[in-house]
Structure 1
Amino acid sequence: MRTRIPNVSQRPLMAGVFPVESSDALAAALLSDASRRRGARFTGEPIRIAVLDRNQLMRQAMTALLARDPRLHVVGDSCDLEQCISYATHRAAQVVLLSAEPDVATVIKQVTALAAVPLGPHVIVLNGEQQPEEVLDAFRAGAFGYLPWSASVTELIEAIEMVADGMSYVLPTTAKALATGLRTPPKAVALPESSRLDTLSARERTVLERIARGFSGPEVAEQLGITVKTVDTYRHRIHEKLGVHHRSDYVRIALDNGLLLREPHSP
């Protein structure tokens, strides 16, 4: 029977507050895990893996790649979160490779759901971005590993082995970015109640929702039929009214107020 081993993601971090000590400690812990594991030899049964990616071609390519290594066994792949959870509960998947969506909120919800499965899988997030706040958000939600798509096959397999053993994994460059990129902590964000959201106009609320879903300023402008400068104006107003500073703040506010539980708000 598998036992979940606590990792650094389970250290308490206050929402919206990233002290220098916390970021440095997290980076140090991640590097420590990596240094302890490097060079370890494989023993025992193959590690059972599930792949979660909305792109069928990517899932098939990942499955074919991992199948070449006798230390690994892919028990299933899917674009559906519930199916992936089923792989964890019925096929005893130990590790889930989760390809990050453009929508940051969706990634956090997926990681949270998988981490909540009793004795469930340890999640590795695969993403093209390595923004310190997004990496921290993933670990806070319950991820055990975080890899950029630029990682090598050797690094991917090493990450799978470490995470299967209950250790955390990031590349050394990512760990250092966490330590240096968060040295100036943002101000704590008081998550607003619904009454505070009422201070936003309908268009400001729509912009907040779209940004929380991971869309860029130009993408929001195109969707709403307005200019990028106008989107920036709305973002400035949202900042003035709610005190948000980063996209992760938008995500937390939207999640806490149920804005992401429905279809995107129409322009």
Structure 2
Amino acid sequence: MNAHVRVLIADDQPLVRRGLALMLAPEPGFEVVAEAGDGAEAVRLAHEHRPDVVIMDIRMPVLDGIAATARLTAELPACRVLALSTFDMDEHVIGALRAGAYGFLPKDISPEELVAALRVVREGEAILAPRLLTRLIATHVTAPERPVPPLPSGTDGLTGREREVWRLIAGGLDNTEIADRLAVSPSTVKNHITGLFAKLRVRDRAQAVIAAYETGLVTARQAP
């Protein structure tokens, strides 16, 4: 059975808020507990209603979605954010993930994709639309004039196996696929990932993927 998911919808357009609420209304296990028209109201209502997931628009008045996400991450860490935007702007994706969002999806997703994404985020996993990840790689990896930043602190302490797991995560493989590739058990892979995330100081796979590409561990032309 799917766990009950309490959702707060934050968008400055009433029709969008109502549309998202109507998409979730027939879904068993989902409850829209509040709707907010700007980021500041979203933070206030999140404190009041303690939703499991906030569907956060990026472009909003008073306090934008990225700033609101950063506040929620700091103030209500158990409340997870799924960012939505009409604009597939790379800086918005990176900004939202760095602010603490567990996922970033375009607003033209289907109701089925939204429901699946909310369940993934509710369980503490990251989700990023494949087309957005492709755009990130194309913009931030293949640009020849972009300098490669230094590796994050803690990278020097990575084992060879942790680096290999990191590279495979960046290639899009899940735990089972990584286990098959390395001829180890999925539980062993999970242990490597736990250690890897702690050393990189990242929260989830999305942040690990961004770090891998930004630091030059992998490039867009490498195969995992």
Please state which band the TM-score falls in when normalised by the shorter chain: 0.5 to 0.7
Q: Partner residue of 2:195?
A: none
Query: Is 1:182 matched up with 2:133?
Result: no
Say which structure, 1 or 2, has more relative contact order (CA 8 Å, 6+ apart).
1
2:101 maps to amino acid = A
**What is the TM-score when the length of structure 2 is the normalising length?**
0.58
Instruction: Provide the rounded CA distance (Å) in 2 between the counterparts of 1:65 and 1:43.
Output: 17
1:106-145 mapped onto 2 (5 Å cutoff)? 106-145=64-103
- Matched-pair contact (CA < 8 Å) for 1:89–1:120: no
C-alpha deviation, 1:102, in angstroms: 6.8
SS in 2 for 1:147: strand
Partner of residue 161, structure 1: 119
- TM-superposed deviation, 1:179: 2.2
Q: 1:161 to 1:102 in 2, by over 3 A?
A: same
What is the aligned-residue RMSD (CA, Å)?
A: 2.4
The yes-or-no answer on 1:150 pairing with 2:125 is no
Q: Distance in 2 between matches of 1:132 and 1:54?
A: 21
Counterparts of residues 85-96 of structure 1 (less than 5 Å): 85-96=43-54
- Which residue of 98, 121, 125 corresponds with 2:56? 98
Q: Which residue of 1 aligns with 2:20?
A: 62
- Whether the aligned pair in 2 keeps the contact of 1:88 and 1:94 (CA below 8 Å) is no
SS of match in other structure, 1:116: helix
| Matched residue type, 1:174 | L
Q: Does 1:43 align with 2:43?
A: no
Structure 2 residues without counterparts, runs of 5 or longer: 150-224
Q: Please state how far the C-alpha of 1:86 moved relative to its aligned partner.
A: 3.6
3-state secondary structure, aligned to 1:57: helix
Q: Distance in 1 between matches of 2:71 and 2:41?
A: 12
- Residue range with higher mean Cα deviation, 82-91 or 155-164: 82-91
Whose radius of gyration is greater, 1 or 2?
Answer: 1
- Determine what percentage of the aligned residue pairs are the same residue: 25
Report the number of matched residues: 146
Give the alignment partner of residue 11 of structure 2, picking from 38, 42, 53: 53
Closer, same or farther: CA 133–188 of 1 in aligned 2, 3 Å: farther
* Aligned residue in 2 for 1:213: none
Task: Tell me the TM-score normalized by structure 1.
Answer: 0.49
Work out the CA distance in 1 between the residues paired with 2:139 and 2:48. Answer: 40
